[in-house]
Amino acid sequence: MIMVHELPFNFVEYELFNVVMKEANPGFNKISRASIRQDCISSYEIEKKRVQKLLNTVKRVSITTDMLTSSQNIHYMVVTCHFVDSDSKLHKCILGFVDVPSPYSGVCIYDSLFKCLKEWNIETNVATLTLNNAKTNDVVARKLMENLNL
């Protein structure tokens, strides 16, 4: 529930949440935000291994990116991978929300993207890359083509 609805970890410490849980299950024991955080990290690690195993079976992937700015004025890039598995099923998964240091340039974006691709061990499997029309992405595309032999 925490991850699906993007709730804060301290949600489990809200009084009403605990009242509802105790009513639904009298044997319910309170959960700390630290426990929920660890559960979310464990769930992420399990899912990451599942996706990595699936990515290891495909030869080509398509990557899309989107640059976003948080309410705290932090720049980051969402890296999404699209691929077709051996059963011809289309998959889409977010590989990461990658920090892009400010002021960001094409080189910074490229470095952040390439680091993400390497983390997932797919840097040599990129068939297509979709970026927006920002001028900085010309540098990103050029550097990727140079370094990935696209």
Return the closest-CA partner of residue 78 out of 112, 103, 102: 112
The pLDDT assigned to 149 comes to: 64
Per-residue pLDDT of the chain (150 residues; tens, 9 = 90+): 888 888 999 999 999 999 999 999 999 999 999 999 999 999 999 999 999 999 999 999 999 999 888 888 888 899 999 999 999 999 999 999 998 887 778 888 999 999 999 999 999 999 999 988 888 888 998 998 888 766
Domain boundaries defined on the chain: 9-51, 57-148
Burial of 41 (0-12, 13-18, 19+ CB in 10 A): exposed
Burial class, 57, CB count within 10 angstroms (exposed 0-12 / middle 13-18 / buried 19+):
exposed
Predicted TM-score (pTM) of this structure:
0.81
What pLDDT score does 150 carry? 60
Sign (positive/negative) of CA torsion 41, 47, 50, 52?
negative
Residues 24, 94: Cα–Cα separation, whole Å: 34
Q: Do the strands 61-69 and 75-84 form a parallel or antiparallel pair, or are they unpaired?
A: antiparallel
